[in-house]
Amino acid sequence: MIRFLTAGESHGEGLTGIIDGIPANLYLDRNYINEELRRRQGGFGRSERMKIEKDEAIIISGVSNSYTTGNPITIFIKNRGVNIELGEVTRPRPGHGDLVGALKYNQKGGRNILERASARETAMRVALGSVCKLLLKEFDIEIFSHVINIGGIESNLNYYSNISEMELEKVDESVIRVADKNYEAFMIEKIREAKQEGDTLGGTIEIIIKNVPVGLGSHNNWDSKLDGRLACAIMSIPGIKGIDFGLGNRVVSTLGSRFHDEIIFNETYKRKSNNAGGIEAGISNGEDIVFKCYMKPIPTLKKPLETIDMETKEKALAQFERSDVCAVPSASIVAESMAAYVLANEFMKKFGGDFLEEVKSNYYNYVKYLNNR
């Protein structure tokens, strides 16, 4: 079993992560980890903070001469430009953790809460997730993501683009479908407008995972189901408010005869379509795993919402501090990383071994078995 924990505050010394259960003898490419960290820092709409930070993974344990040893791997990422005044936050921001956390932990305001609720912590999830990605790559499993909606500007280039319009449910009128490959330019413009208005945006991310073998996850109990485990991991990302698999909410408006993926046999079992998104009964079915996740608009607004001052109990405007306007592209890298963790964990549960060669032998033995079914 693979498990991980992170620690560290947004404006503290840095972030620490420990991941346990990665087999020995896996080549751990530091450049790859740092490149993943760089990808998370990108995207239009992020705050000045991303110009200050230059995330770099310092590997403290579990690796020798660039190969894993089977020991727990510890990674540290230093916080660089911690130069903002860390005052108390007594005018809590609706949508952030300030009020609920202060009440739950008996704090004067939200400072100690936001330091940990902040998505700064997701840098470490990406570092640890990249270790999981490197393990999955040994078995040709690759995870891709792209942003398909920002604040209602929707790209029609998604996994299911080739489905005829007849089969699409009527799109909400507030959604503008951009059939153009230049949809990114429209999205950037939308973010620019929101920034000018002192407002913020959310959006939709699509994740596609390729070459997943049949048989990860299990139908046999609620907490073994692969879709459930992915949903839990993805929903734990700050700001993510929903996830759906395959055709997503179109399941409600599509006839069963058109929805379910017919089974064919061509050397192995295959499907004529992939509306389920690669998972049936909590088990991967060998097709691409496809899901979408939905991020709410960033809670910190330059044009603040109404709140209550926790000291006076008077009506007030929510506190503003440096903030992103839109962080959907960054969240997509975090979503890839959380998906990598879940899949690597399921992979090790099924093909477990203490060293990579042992995991490979178990895996290829299973592939041989499948080829004879």
Ligand X SMILES: C=C(O[C@@H]1CC(C(=O)O)=C[C@@H](OP(=O)(O)O)[C@H]1O)C(=O)O
List interacting residues with ligand FMN (CB under 6 A): 47, 95-97, 117-119, 122, 237-239, 296, 298-300, 323-324, 327, 330-331, 334
Q: Which does 10 bind (CB under 5 to 8 A by kind): ligand FMN, ligand X, none?
A: ligand X
Q: Is 254 exposed, middle or buried (0-12, 13-18, 19+ CB in 10 A)?
A: middle
Choose the contact partner of 33 out of ligand FMN, ligand X, none; CB within 5 to 8 A by kind: none
Distance CA 25, CA 247 (A): 39
Longest dimension (CA), the chain: 72
Shortest Cβ 43–ligand FMN spacing (Å)? 8
Give CA–CA dist 32/24, Å, rounded: 18
Alpha-carbon distances, residue 156 vs 98, 164, 193, 263, 288 (angstroms) = 37, 12, 22, 27, 19
∠ CA 314-318-323, nearest 5°, is 165
Interface with ligand X in residues 116-135 (CB under 6 A): 118-120, 123
Secondary element (H or E) of residue 295: strand 289-295
Instruction: Select from ligand X, ligand FMN, none the partner in contact with residue 94, using the beta carbon and a kind-dependent cut-off of 5 to 8 Å.
Output: none
The amino acid present at 323, given as its one-letter code, is: S
Among ligand FMN, ligand X, none, partner that 331 touches (CB below 5 to 8 angstroms by kind) = ligand FMN
By CB under 6 A, is residue 321 in contact with ligand X? yes
Parallel/antiparallel/unpaired status of strands 203-210 and 73-78:
unpaired
Residue 93 in contact with ligand X, rule: CB under 6 A:
no
Q: Which is nearer to ligand FMN, 155 or 323 (CB)?
A: 323
Q: Please, what is the minimum distance in Å from the beta carbon of residue 244 to ligand FMN?
A: 17
C-beta of residue 38 within 8 angstroms of C-beta of residue 55: yes
Q: Which residues define the annotated binding site for FMN?
A: 116-118, 281, 296-300, 322
Q: Which residues define the annotated binding site?
A: 40, 46, 116-118, 281, 296-300, 322
Interface residues toward ligand X, by CB under 6 A = 10, 47, 49, 53, 118-120, 123, 238, 321-324
